[in-house]
Amino acid sequence: MKKAATPTTTTEFLAVLVQGSMDSVEGVLQICRTISTAKETLPETEFKDLRDRWGKGQKIWSKLLQIGLDDRLEAIQEHLPPSYTTIHQVHCLNDEELKEAVDSGALHPGVSQGVLTRWLKEYRFVGTQEAVPTDFSPIATVMGPSGVDPEHLERFKSDLEKLVTTYGFKSQHQEDQSTTALRLRRNKDRSHEMVGTLLKDLKTTWKDAPDNLKTLFNLQSLEDLIHGPMSDFTGFLNRVRGGRDGFWSLHAHDYIHKIALEYLKTDSRGQRFNYRRRLREIAQQHPHLAEKVQNTLEDWLKY
């Protein structure tokens, strides 16, 4: 965008917004700065008029304004993704969370809202050494109008999930009540706990691993390794430790935990059978791990 004098009127601010683009991080931040400057410059009635004339809607406008008022984001611009919704999610982090997200590599240009939400939940309950809650009780019932548009309902569910995750709560929807759905949801909740364990146990390994190895496996963060394919997980750790002996010596428990995580994430009965079988094979091939395998089967692979 062409550098120009700071706008002072509604028309001038509108011209800058219309010419702007939200296809890049710089473009998003430029628009957000423009809106925050307009907030400080224009009378309230003219500021609202600017919002209405730009035509993006009050919800988007509010998020962009909040981003523009956050003076922390310019310094970490290279870590931000080109999405105003995800940048707004970054804005909602406190200073400690933001620093950890940058330092750990959880915040990077390719991160999505969903991944960042999972990381935040895991960090708040594991990174801070708090116990991951497993016992929940009903607090409120949300009622929607009959015949609500399905797309509108899905947007609501998405926004609600982000909100409850921020506070460490969880949501349960009407269609989630069947036995299968309850099992899947229970496993999903437990998978967050297992991810937290892997994040904690592999943090130093990831930090000390050479950058060229991370590039070889196309890994931008420790979470990419944990959530990625099993072959990448074992391949990366084998390379880090110089072969199978080092892998089994230092990462046998991490491998068992990764198998448990994949078990919790899948809804395939066949896959769950295969993961149980693989753990039993480990116990047979490595007798010193038999107790660990048995505890994992009982504690994590019950359902």
Mind listing the pLDDT tens digit for each residue in 233-254?
A: 999 999 999 999 999 999 999 9
Instruction: Please determine, for residue 68, whether its predicted confidence score (pLDDT) is greater than 60.
Output: yes
The number of distinct structural domains making up the chain is 2
User: What's CA 16's distance to the chain center, in Å?
Assistant: 32
- The pLDDT assigned to 119 comes to 81
Task: Work out the angle at residue 260's Cα, subtended by the Cα atoms of residues 255 and 265, and round it to the nearest 5 degrees.
Answer: 125
Residue type, 11: T
- The pLDDT assigned to 234 comes to 95
Domain that holds residue 65: 10-92
In a domain? residue 186: yes
Lowest mean pLDDT among 165-174, 220-229, 243-252: 165-174
- Last residue of one domain, picked from the residues 72, 92, 112: 92
- The pLDDT assigned to 165 comes to 62
- Last residue of one domain, picked from the residues 92, 110, 127: 92
Dmax over CA atoms of the chain, in Å, equals 76
By C-alpha distance, which of 86, 145, 80, 155 is closest to 114?
86
Q: Which residue has the higher pLDDT, 186 or 93?
A: 93
Q: Which residue has the higher pLDDT, 267 or 213?
A: 213
In a domain? residue 79: yes
In a domain? residue 124: no
252 and 286 Cβ atoms separated by less than 8 Å: yes
- Last residue of one domain, picked from the residues 92, 112, 130: 92
In a domain? residue 59: yes
pTM of the model: 0.50
pLDDT band at 2 (very low <50, low <70, confident <90, very high): very low
Instruction: Please determine, for residue 130, whether its predicted confidence score (pLDDT) is greater than 70.
Output: no
